[in-house]
Each structure stands twice: as structure tokens, then as C-alpha cells.
Amino acid sequence: MARSDWEAVIGLEVHAQLLTDSKIFCGCSTAFGAPPNSQTCPVCLGLPGSLPVLNERVVEFGVRLGLALNCTIREHSVFARKNYFYPDLPKGYQISQHELPLCENGHLVIDTPEGEKKVGIIRAHLEEDAGKNLHDPEGGPSRVDLNRAGVPLMEIVSAPDIRSSDEAVEYLKNLRSILVYIGVNDGNLEEGSLRCDANVSVRKRGETGFRTRVEIKNLNSFRFLKQAIDFEIERQIRVWEEGGQVVQETRLFDAQAGVTRSMRSKEEAQDYRYFPEPDLPPLRVDEALVARVRESLPELPREKQARFVREYQLSAYDASVLVADKAVADYYEQAVAAYGKNPKTVANWVINEVLRLIKENPEGIRATRAEPERLAALLRLLDEGRINAGSAKAILEEVHRTGEEPEAVMRARGLEQVSDVGVIEEAVARVIAANPAELEKYRAGKKAVFGFFMGQVMRELKGQGDPKLVSEALRRALDS
């Protein structure tokens, strides 16, 4: 049976750390990188008798996230205990939400080759993070760091609406972009402030039910997400086609080998014995809070993309590249404002040049010292014919590194374009005088030799001649 007879059914579960200053149930700092256990108190250490108190800021962030994902915000949601034993879980249970989550029934729109697609969000709920077990590579005793215990998380569960690894990547990219836009998450997959698990099953095209699904963990990059899902789809199709049964299990993605491996089966799955958390009253979110948060929501990526297309006459693709990172979009708009015209040109420069310069930089657009005003100044030099496009790119690279004014760089490096017709005509005369043979050919009708003369004149002008003026002067001289 052909691969095309099968389709994948994928749902993603994403854990997003909320960027509050303090933990979800105590006042400890959430700052990353402090010495182990230095950001703890009786509550997040789970000392006997300690009790959780909900951080109101976390609720606000949760509502923000829910609204940005088009969810219904429950007026009344309930915290529950998820019970299991693990050294990084100081109370022996995680406070989460189970039956009545804060956010429900949302969706997120992604672009696919077939057009826009809505991926459902079943729910998004609040919970606390666990600590971290630190294992000694030498085989000594393991230790536990509880700095992360109690850091607020939102678990966002998509509907099984995703049909390919590309769609999954697109979903995660869009989700990440939204989370960063609304300021609730830093979008860092590698450091784990955004974590993704995938539920994957396959079925024959035309089937309406679902076949057994497998949960894949440890997908901490877009590439791993794609690789793991692709591997899993192929694996499951093979199992079914060979007459086997896919077993319900949790699999771990081995990034080095590029395969998923069985971690635990359904039979080994834990019974979490959820029950309502008696230490916390039901969470009430009143309409006023929802209204206030809704009011404060920024323009979201897709809205911004549509506006860029409309307002700046960009292509949908260019707009989508610019809005993917809010900081880039802001940079672009500031550059357009500073330049005051031709937003399409600005977009080309941002997409092709500025983004290339910051490509490998984790700080993104913040890393460049070529601020929007400087980019605009550079483009003006280009307009005025004082530099050519090649020089402009060289100047931008230096401005990016040093933060110097483009004009200063132009002068210092002697890159100002020669626009003095007299100077150009002199250079043209010298070149023609030095190449009588080529002149003969040209005059004999070999017009292609024009390119040779053009190159020679530009060389004479050290590459800084205004190409338009050079070309005009050359024609005048050759055709006279």
C-alpha cells in the first residue's frame, strides 16, 4: 500500500513557562541560572505545613494567553493535585488544573500549502513546574535543584487537527510567536521555557475514527519536532502495513539517532489520582479582568501580517517573515517611519540584509547596532546616488557591528559614489584611449563590448562610479 493512502493525526501539548517575576504559589524569584536551591522557600520546598497562595499575575498571564488563542476563559476553574513520586517534585504532587481548566475551546490559524487552516486548542491550563534532578556523571549521588519548582506553566493542548510534521512545525512557530508577542513567554525551546510533546497516530485516508496514538517527548527544537513526527509516521505505517498493532505508549525522541524509542507503555502509565486541591479555593476570574486583559492585548502576528500587506503593500510572504518576531516587525515599522517612503524597499533591506546579519544571533534583532534610523539614513544615501548598492551592503555590515552613522562609514572607507560627470567623462576618455582594439570592435557593431568598457570605467573609478551616469557617459563617448 502506498504511503499516500495514509494520513497522520497529530496533536501537540506545549508547556510554556510564564514570564512572571515570582513563582505561581510563593514569592520566590523565577530568575534563571541562580545557584541551586537559592530561590526556594518553605512553600516551593514542600516543607510540612506550607500552603500555596496563587500569584495573581499568573492568572492575568493565563487569561492573556487564553484570549490570544481565542479561548473561552472559565469564570470558575479548579486547581487539582496530580499525584506521583519523583525527587524533583517536592510535595509528591503537582498542583495543576484537571477537570475545569482556565481556558478552553480556542484555535490558532496556520498557513499550509492548501491555504489557511484552523487548529483547535482544546484547553490551556495553569500548573506549577517541577524542580530538576542533577545527576553526577561520575556516578555519585544525584541531587535536586528546586529553583524551578513552582515556576508557573501553562499547558496548551491542541486538538488532533494537525496532519503533517510541517503543519506541526507551523503550529508551534505560530504559537511561539503569539506567546512572545503577548509577553507571557520568551519562546526559548532549547532552554526549555517552551516544551513540546506530540501525540501522533496514523489512519487510512477516509477513516473517521482514530487509531492508537503514541506520545513523543523531548522535542526541543523545530527540527527535532519535524524529524520525530516524520520518523513516527513512517514507523506506525510500517507497523500497520506489516499487520502489527501500534501500542499506546510514551516514546522519547533520540535526537542523535533521529529515532523515537519506547519509554513506557500504557500498562506502566501512572494513575495520577487527580482530585481538587483542597488548599486553594476555586479560581474565579471576573469579567472585568477578562475585559481589562483583552483591552491590553497587543496586535497579534496574523493581524499584523494582514495590516502590513494592506498598509505597506507587501507580499503575504514578506509580511509573514517580518511579523514572525515582534521585535523585527517593530524594527521594520520604525525604519519605514524614519525613511518616510517606499516601504517595499525597506522590507527588502530588512529581510535580505538585516535579518541575514543577525541570523545566528540568539538576541535576534536586538543584536544589531544598525538601528532603524541608521537603516533609513543608509537608504537615503542610496537614493541620493552617493553610494551604490554594493557599497550600501558593505556599509550596513559595518554599521551593524559598530553603530556608526552610515555617512561616516561611507566617508571613512571612501565609498562615496562618483557622481561628478566631469570625473566620469575623464575616466571614460582614459579607458577608450587605452583600448583602441575594443573601440574598433564596438564601432564595427559588436555592441557586447559595451560591458567590457563599463567594467573598465568602474574599475578606473574604484567601483564607486554611479552606474547610471557611467553608462550614459560611455554611450555618449562611444556612439559619438
Partner 1 sequence: MNPTDLTLRELADALAAGELSSEEATRACLDRIRATDERLGAFLHVAEETALARARESDRRRREGNALGALDGVPVALKDNISTAGMPTTCASRILEGYVPPFDATVARRLGDAGAVVLGKVNLDEFAMGSTTETSAYRVTRNPWDLSRSPGGSSGGSAAAVAARQVYGALGTDTGGSIRQPASHCGVVGIKPTYGRCSRYGVVAYASSLDQVGTFGRTVEDAAILLQAIAGHDPLDSTSVSEPVPDWVAATRGASVEGMRLGIPKEYFVQGVDPEVEGAIRAAIATLVSLGAKVEEISLPHTEYAIAAYYVVAPAEASSNLARFDGIRYGLSVREGGLRDVYLKTRAAGFGPEVKRRILAGTWALSSGNYEQYSIRAQKVRTLIRRDFEEAFKRVDAIVTPVAPTAARRLGEKAEDPVEAYLADVFTLACNLAGLPGMSVPCGFTSKGLPVGMQLLGRPMDEATLFRVGAAYQQATDWHRQSPPEVA
Distance between CA atoms of residues 470 and 460, nearest Å: 11
User: Who contacts 139 (Cβ-Cβ below 8 Å, separation ≥6)?
Assistant: none
Q: How far is the CB of 81 from partner 1 (least distance, A)?
A: 5
Beta strands at 93-97 and 79-83: parallel, antiparallel or unpaired: antiparallel
Q: How far is the CB of 84 from partner 1 (least distance, A)?
A: 8
Show contacts with partner 1 in window 136-175 (CB under 8 A).
Answer: 144
| Closer to partner 1 by Cβ: residue 36 or 46 | 46
Q: How far is the CB of 281 from partner 1 (least distance, A)?
A: 6
Distance between CA atoms of residues 150 and 45, nearest Å: 9
From candidates 140, 278, 414, 445, binder to partner 1 by CB under 8 A = 278
Grid coordinates of 182: 503577548
Q: How far is the CB of 83 from partner 1 (least distance, A)?
A: 5
Establish if 93 lies at the interface with partner 1 (CB under 8 A): yes
| Closer to partner 1 by Cβ: residue 52 or 160 | 52
From candidates 138, 267, 271, 286, binder to partner 1 by CB under 8 A = 271
From candidates 275, 291, 434, 468, binder to partner 1 by CB under 8 A = 275
Q: How far is the CB of 37 from partner 1 (least distance, A)?
A: 10
Site string for partner 1, 223-262 (x = CB under 8 A): ----------------------------------------
| Closer to partner 1 by Cβ: residue 280 or 423 | 280
Grid coordinates of 250: 510514551
Distance between CA atoms of residues 86 and 133, nearest Å: 9
User: Who contacts 350 (Cβ-Cβ below 8 Å, separation ≥6)?
Assistant: 322, 328, 331, 332, 335, 375
From candidates 135, 204, 265, 281, binder to partner 1 by CB under 8 A = 281
Distance between CA atoms of residues 119 and 49, nearest Å: 43
Q: How far is the CB of 4 from partner 1 (least distance, A)?
A: 40
Distance between CA atoms of residues 224 and 407, nearest Å: 44
Q: How far is the CB of 142 from partner 1 (least distance, A)?
A: 8
Among the listed ranges 163-171, 213-221, 268-276, 284-292, the one in contact with partner 1 (CB under 8 A) is 268-276
Q: How far is the CB of 32 from partner 1 (least distance, A)?
A: 22
| Closer to partner 1 by Cβ: residue 48 or 206 | 48
Q: Judged by CB under 8 A, how many residues of this single chain contact partner 1?
A: 28
Q: How far is the CB of 48 from partner 1 (least distance, A)?
A: 4
From candidates 135, 273, 369, 443, binder to partner 1 by CB under 8 A = 273
Show contacts with partner 1 in window 62-91 (CB under 8 A).
Answer: 81, 83, 85, 87, 90-91
| Closer to partner 1 by Cβ: residue 62 or 90 | 90
Among the listed ranges 11-19, 278-286, 357-365, 378-386, the one in contact with partner 1 (CB under 8 A) is 278-286
Show contacts with partner 1 in window 35-54 (CB under 8 A).
Answer: 42, 45-54
| Closer to partner 1 by Cβ: residue 53 or 367 | 53
Site string for partner 1, 174-213 (x = CB under 8 A): ----------------------------------------
Q: How far is the CB of 45 from partner 1 (least distance, A)?
A: 7
From candidates 279, 303, 311, 384, binder to partner 1 by CB under 8 A = 279
Distance between CA atoms of residues 154 and 275, nearest Å: 19
Q: How far is the CB of 62 from partner 1 (least distance, A)?
A: 17
Cβ-based burial of 436 (10 A; exposed 0-12, middle 13-18, buried ≥19): exposed
Chain positions contacting partner 1, by CB under 8 A: 42, 45-54, 81, 83, 85, 87, 90-93, 144, 271, 273-275, 278-281
